[in-house]
Amino acid sequence: MRWDPDLLDGYVSTEIALPDAARMPDEPPDVEVVATLVRRDEPRRSRRAVLYVHGWNDYFFQTHLADFWAALGFDFYALDLRRYGRSARRGHLRGFTSDLGEYDEELDAAARVIAADHDVLVVMGHSTGGLVTALWAARRPGRVDALVLNSPWLDLQGSALVRAIGAPVIDALGARSPYAVLRAADPGHYARALHLSLEGEWDYDLDMKLSPGPPIRVGWLRAVIQGQRRVAAGLDIEAPVLVLASTRTSFARRWSEDLRVVDTVLDVEQIAARSVRLGRCVTVVRVEEGVHDLVLSAPAVRAHVFTEIERFTRGYVSVSSSSRPPAP
């Protein structure tokens, strides 16, 4: 496997070929479908590893998260799923899938790469990535030693979009016209709270994490709802699970400074309520003043998030007692 310099300094990445990936209508036949595995550019230092999976309209850029896991004694990997971030190609339907189970292919491949040098695997998923990794962990008993979910999208009514349209309508339309685009207004509040050019703290690539986001297609949303129904029925994940979510949600249409300290994407009460359906051992932590991606919250808030992840990991996963996370 060849690792090439990544777009992030100090990181390398490798493409995971997905020759069996379904092609979407109008996608160029000569453009490959791949996923991308990213890691820090340094020798493997531990037999323990963490694999991070992003959410909708996202990619891995949170290097401070990687630094935290490294200080805790884990080698860090991140996966950009097909049609997202580093893996997006000319003509691709950005982020589209009609079945979240399709991602098992790249998750399995990433887990095999990591298993070659590691004995312990912790998987961390954010938002839709939290749903994807939870479903995968349930289908792969014994593969994951612990699961850390950062604001996972677990409930049918967990966003303003689904609440406005209704799951039954999405279900019917998604089966009939999966590529139809839902005209959903994006006021840009979340990007304003995050991006450096918009008064935020983070300088991520606006071509990979768009504002407004890429078109939301009904077939993708139907796939999400189908995955959420599996959660509602109970996943029975064997590994211990940590679910982190903010204490407040706001779907306000007008900007206010309060939107810097709440989840503006998902309903956090629905996340907390549905979390207990994930498995046999679930820890739920509510984070005061947390934004949707909790590790992108204000410094003191994300320091608290890291403390809770460390507490959970030291309780449920074997880690080096001499390793400590960096100061925020």
6 DSSP assignment: -
Least confident span in 66-75, 175-184, 254-263: 175-184
pLDDT digits (tens, 9 = 90+) for 211-252: 888 998 999 999 999 999 999 999 999 999 999 999 999 989
pLDDT bucket at 326, cuts 50 / 70 / 90: very low
132-164 CB burial, b ≥16 within 10 A, e <16: bbbbbbbebeebbbbbbbbbbbbbbebbbbbee
Could you give the angle at the alpha carbon of 95 between the alpha carbons of 138 and 24, nearest 5°? Answer: 100
**Cα 312 to the chain's mean position, in Å?**
19
Cα distance between residue 63 and residue 43, in whole Å: 17
Separation between Cα atoms, residue 328 and residue 318, nearest integer Å: 23
pTM of the model: 0.93
pLDDT of residue 56: 96
What is the predicted pLDDT for the residue at 198? Answer: 87
pLDDT value at 132 more than 70: yes
The Cα 210–Cα 100 span in angstroms is 21
* Beta strand 146-150 pairing with 241-246: parallel
Q: pLDDT value at position 325?
A: 41
- Contacts (Cβ under 8 Å, ≥6 apart) of 19: none
Kindly report, residue by residue over 5-35, the tens digit of the pLDDT.
999 999 999 999 998 888 888 888 888 999 9
Torsion angles phi and psi, residue 172, rounded to 5: -70, -45
Within its chain, how far is the Cα of 13 from the centroid?
Answer: 18
- Give the residue extent of every domain in the chain: 4-316
Level-2 CATH architecture, domain 4-316:
3-Layer(aba) Sandwich (3.40)
Give the model confidence (pLDDT) of 249-306 as tens digits: 998 989 999 999 999 999 999 999 999 999 999 999 999 999 999 999 999 999 999 9
CB 104 within 8 A of CB 136: yes
